[in-house]
Structure 1
Amino acid sequence: MGGLITFVFLLVAVFVLGNISGYEGKVLIEASLSGINMLCNTIVLGSATILTLLLTLLGISTSSRSTLKKAHYKQVANIAKLDTVLFIFALVLFQIFNIPITESEQVPTFWFKYIYWATLFSSSLLSGMMVTVVLLLYTTVTNIITIVGLGKDHYLISEEEIEEEEKQT
């Protein structure tokens, strides 16, 4: 939900700009290109780091005294899938944004306004996806802290383990 809110917020902010001409689109693309490239770089690095940290999270999950339900591992798998899509999408966009389209004489001027809107849409989508991945990761990490670190009952602890604890008391 947070990612969707971020995406919609950025799109609304962009559409406040109103209608632009092809020449204005070309100027705006040139002005925003370094920021969009930086966004793509940051997301590529961040999503690769998140994938690596998910392996550590799995190590902690499997080595804990609690037996976790499959739902926990499905959460981690969903984060990994979305993060991988985000990584690939950001990498492809980075490559596309490095094509010197504003230097080309073959591209009609009126296309630049559509290219500009496409870049804004895609950067908003990237930002929304990154927020979603971070929120999902936050939820998973807080679940692990509750289960492993604090030793509290949690809906992700296997019912078999709860029954065994009840028998021992």
Structure 2
Amino acid sequence: MKLTRSTKRAITGGVISMTIMLLGTFLLGELSGYEAKSLIKNSIAGVNTLCNTIALASATILALLLTILGVSSGSESKLKKDHYKHILLIARLDTIVFVSALISFLIFSLPVTEFENVPEEWFSILYYTTLGISSVLSAAIIVVVLMLYNTLYSIIKIVGLGLKDHPLLETDSD
């Protein structure tokens, strides 16, 4: 599917947010294994909460997409297939985010700081991996929400405000 301008803007918003999050990580500087182990112990509850929140948001967005489909198909206006392909793209990406958040939650639930056999230098790798995964998940849910906003914006213009010359409206020439 060809990416629309609004989808490209949503992806740009996610990339910008991920860049800001990762930039903050690199500004912290390099950590020793002991410092990383301590930071992991202190931040793992917050990371698990983030994963839970993203999973909950993703599940809610999937339910909202069903509502959007109902409004779209029930409207008097005939919408182009591109509208439904966009909803399908949001659903696909949202499902990927949902599954990724749950898997990340399960991985972050392992008590790695309590393991005796983990070399001290691995904790800095684990810490940066945790921050990277958190940044990617956060950016992905931002992209999904921005795409959902763009879809709702179009639906409101077409169905709610009765706009007759929207690019998603099917015309007689289509």
- TM-score normalised according to structure 2 size: 0.91
Superimposed CA distance per residue, residues 5-24 of structure 1 (whole angstroms, 9 cap, x where no aligned partner) = 01010000111000100111
- Unpaired stretches in structure 2, ≥5 consecutive residues: 1-11
2:18 is the counterpart of 1:10: no
Aligned to 1:122: 133
Q: 1:135 pairs with 146, 149, 161, which one?
A: 146
Q: Percent identity?
A: 53
Aligned to 1:107: 118
Instruction: Supply the distance in 2 between the matched residues of 1:134 and 1:88 (Cα, whole angstroms).
Output: 16
Cα distance in 2 between the residues matched to 1:130 and 1:74: 19
2:171 to 159, 162, 168: 159
User: Secondary structure, in 3 states, of the residue corresponding to 1:159?
Assistant: coil
Q: Distance in 2 between matches of 1:8 and 1:22?
A: 25
Q: What letter matches 1:113 in structure 2?
A: S
Look up the SS of the partner of 1:157 in the other structure: coil
Structure 1 counterpart of 2:60, from 21, 40, 49: 49
1:71 matched to 2:89? The reply is no
In structure 2, what is the Cα distance between the partners aligned to 1:126 and 1:43? 8
Partner of 1:62: 73
Give the Cα–Cα distance (whole angstroms) in 2 for the partners of residues 60 and 51 of structure 1.
Answer: 15
Q: CA RMSD in A?
A: 0.7
The number of aligned residues is: 161
Structure 2 CA distance for aligned equivalents of residues 106 and 60 of structure 1: 56
Distance 2:157 2:105 in 1: 38
TM-score by length of 1: 0.94
1:125 and 1:31 mapped to 2: Cα distance?
Answer: 20
Shift of residue 159 of structure 1?
Answer: 1.4
1:94 aligns with 2:105: yes
Q: Matched residues in 2 for 1:15 and 1:74: separation? A: 38
Q: What is the CA–CA distance in structure 2 between the aligned matches of 1:74 and 1:110, rounded to whole Å? A: 47
Partner of 1:21: 32
Matched, 1:31 2:42: yes
Structure 1: gaps spanning 5 or more residues: 164-169
Q: Which structure has the larger Rg over C-alpha atoms?
A: 1
